[in-house]
Structure 1
Amino acid sequence: MIDLHTHILPEIDDGSRSVEMSLKLLQMEQKQKAGTVVFTPHFYPWRDQPDHFFEKREHAWARLQAELPQERPRLHRGAEFAWFDGISHTREVLDFRITGTDLLLVEMPFVKWTNHTVDEVLRLNETPHLQVVLAHVDRYFKLSSKELLERLMDEGVIFQFNAEAFLSWNTRRKVMKLVREMDGFFLGSDCHNLTSRPPRIGEAMKVLQEKGGREAVHKLSETEDYFFGEAIDNG
């Protein structure tokens, strides 16, 4: 099982506040049978500079790596790259792909989506050697329309759902409906800390198995295998 979306790297964004917290979060991930964990700290292009972001990310990674136990999930580095008008024309986004893969995790704007918003994503997804994954699509149900979501799915954009969406009756039905309609997807805990936003990906997986059955689990595992089957472990 892969946790594609986490804020576990220490002291780089609003996630883990220390190396100690990061280690405890990884222990929780391992207990929930996450075999691979992706670090995706926030990147806001209107506020951050790429060079500064990568410098901070590598510093946080080095601090954590020095304390990592031998028994742990496989680890990859990426980013949660915030959408902006013009993202499809920015070649630097390739540097933010999840290490060892072509995947770019994109956070959509928390305003009403328009055709232009979606057009930017679709143009970005046409970039060679890049596959767009939309972060926590379950958080955008009130901002997007069924038609726009279907257009994104039909044209090859992959959706990532947060674990919490499977654990809340308010969002579970809508998420499971999308899962049944799509070819593949990713799960992410979007964990930030040990208390209010812990990793609950193991619980979400149980719900997916119960509500979606073998077909839903197969879609998830096929997507994970396709993009991470030969990906190099950065541990």
Structure 2
Amino acid sequence: MTTPSTPLAQEFVAFAVEAGVLRFGEFKTKAGRLSPYFFNAGLFNDGARLVRLAEFYAKTLLASGVEFDMIFGPAYKGITLAAAVSMELARLGHNKPFAYNRKEAKDHGEGGTLVGAPVQGRVLIIDDVISAGTSVRESIAMIQAAGATPCGVSIALDRQEKAAENGVEQPWSAVQYVNRQLHLPVVAIAGLSDLLQYLHHNSSADIAAHAAAVQAYRDRYGV
């Protein structure tokens, strides 16, 4: 049974569609599947959109009950997200430090691969989506190497579809893998089920017309 969508999730899906970040058509995924929709968080690329995005992350995190001491943003998209969400949390009265990593270690100045606040305590990883869990595993390794404890992952959209490893379809999603195998809670602003509810109840015929294709994709690849 599908869990009823929340008003916040529906508001986020509408925002992503209006901003052109969530698009419909035919898109090839990393797993080689033809998806009827595509989510590109890199298109939250101006101040107004980023502020709203940070609001969705912050509200979802605070409602989740996940406790954390700081935020970690894996390069590259996670860097902007960590900074923006940290600012929004502070505005809401929850001031949290943040850090991020470089792709390549710096051998001068402060050196190393980590930038920002000292990585310590309970660390929340923030990213746009989880495709295969690789970025999460790398973040966990960096956080643990610094002597801190990864405590959860926050993402914008959970695709809620079966993962593919070396071309082989798995019975679990990438988010489920992180939750069950890496033992970290994953807090998503919205998921594919929320997108479907948005499409099924949309008053715009142009938007609602994509519901059948997205539903068929969910029926084939969903978890």
Q: TM-score band (shorter)?
A: 0.3 to 0.5
Greater fraction helix:
1
Higher relative CO (Cα under 8 Å, sequence separation at least 6) belongs to 1
Work out which of the two has the higher radius of gyration on C-alpha atoms and give 1 or 2: 2
Structure whose residues are more often strand by fraction: 2
- What TM-score, normalized to structure 1? 0.31
